[in-house]
Amino acid sequence: MSSAAELDTVLAAGGPGLAAGLRRTEERLAGAAANHGEVLAGHAGGTLAAGGKRLRPLLLLVCAGQEDPGDDVVAGAAAVELLHTATLVHDDVLDGAPLRRGRTTVFAAAGRDAAVAAGDLMFARAFAELAATGCAPAIAALSEASSALAAGELAQRADAWSPSVTVARYLERCRLKTGSLFAAASRLGALLVGRRADVASVLGDFGLRIGLAFQILDDVLDVSGPADRTGKRRGTDLLDGTVTLPLILARERDAELASLDLRADVRDAAQAEAACERVAATGALDEARATALGHVESAKAALAGVELAAAQRRTLAAIADGVVARYA
């Protein structure tokens, strides 16, 4: 969903209500960081303003399906993006990352202390936004997702450089780290407009599968490149020791890859590039892509069981296709 063309397709399907909702979400995000001390507001505001795909607010707005999104829905859209951004800011602290979304990270600009505090503030503001709606099931859904994000982050770091990460373990990590918040965003959209719990649950399942597909395809892209499209060098996951689906599948097919010690053998860009080539040569990328596409298809199929407005159904399908198109 990073390219303008894919977003345009979704916005066209969603109509003026969706565009207005996204605009108001931006305004709300800009306001959320203010009033908590100038320094903190600067760090948090700058990070939020740096943007991103706003996929989670988009899912929430479409699942809410209002022609003129109400304040509660916009608050929810801001809340999911605040939570997402909070985790990114903390991830950057742990990674010591200098850049994110093409901008200097809070960590790099202001140091570890400011970045941990700015992330904590964004966590707090996420719940403050949602608390303003008075919708307790929505708050419960966000806090569950927030727990899952923390667990996912830790699981990923626990698995770093491991030679024995299974496909099941990898998928569970994707669920925790990415799927849970996509699911929560979709559920929140339904809950905040008072839809029945079973409808919220189906939409949550849609979001979960889209999130899994998104994460898998993102991991494929890290191996496949090209760098001029992804904005980062190939194999950054391998250099970080992050074991993703392409490598797991490739290890099953190539004994030499199976015995590769990431920590010892993949230490610079050239070695990472070579490892990516070798993973690609096994056909693992196609298999990983197929897994992701399977999740997208099952996401779309899940929608058949729920009553939705025609425009809403069309827009959700456009989001699902957009996730795939991004990586086509």
| Residue 238 burial (10 A CB sphere; 0-12, 13-18, 19+) | buried
Q: Which is nearer to its own copies, 11 or 34 (CB)?
A: 34
Q: Which stretch binds its own copies (CB under 8 A): 32-40, 62-70, 192-200, 201-209?
A: 32-40
Q: What is the spatial distance between Cα 76 and Cα 62, in angstroms, rounded to a whole number?
A: 12
Q: Binding segment for its own copies among 1-9, 10-18, 123-131, 273-281 (CB under 8 A)?
A: 123-131
Q: 3-class DSSP state for residue 103?
A: strand
Beta partners for residue 104, in sequence order: 99
Applying CB under 8 A, the site for its own copies has a residue count of 44
Cβ–Cβ under 8 Å, residues 223 and 276: yes
Which residues does 145 contact at the CB level (< 8 Å), separation at least 6?
83, 180, 181, 183, 184
Q: Closest Cα to residue 256, out of 290, 229, 279, 225?
A: 279
Tallying the residues shown for the chain, one arrives at 328
The DSSP bridge partners found for residue 100 are 103
- Selected binder of its own copies within 123, 170, 182, 214 (CB under 8 A): 123
- Per-residue x/- track, 142-161, its own copies (CB under 8 A): xxx-xxxxxx-xxx-xx---
Q: Which of 16, 67, 98, 112 binds its own copies (CB under 8 A)?
A: 112
Count the neighbouring beta carbons within 10 Å of the beta carbon of residue 150: 13
Contact criterion met (CB below 8 Å) for 221 and 230 = yes
- Residue 157 Cβ, how far from its own copies at the closest point, in Å? 5
Considering the complex, state which of residue 153 and residue 297 has its C-beta at the smaller distance from its own copies: 153
- Which range, of 111-119, 190-198, 231-239, 241-249, touches its own copies by CB under 8 A? 111-119
> What residues from 61 to 100 belong to the interface with its own copies (CB under 8 A)?
87, 90, 93-94
Looking at the DSSP assignment, which residues form a beta bridge with residue 103?
100
Q: Which is nearer to its own copies, 142 or 223 (CB)?
A: 142
d(CA 253, CA 244): 15
What x-and-dash track marks residues 224-243 binding its own copies by CB under 8 A? --------------------
139 binds its own copies (CB under 8 A): yes
Q: In the complex, what is the shortest distance from the CB of residue 198 to its own copies, in angstroms, rounded to a whole number?
A: 20
- Is residue 52 within 8 Å of residue 19, measured between CB atoms? no
Nearer of residues 134 and 226 to its own copies, judged by Cβ: 134
Report the C-alpha gap between 163 and 160 in whole angstroms. Answer: 9
Interface with its own copies by CB under 8 A: which residues? 36-37, 39-40, 87, 90, 93-94, 112-114, 116-118, 120-121, 123-125, 127-128, 130-136, 139-140, 142-144, 146-151, 153-155, 157-158
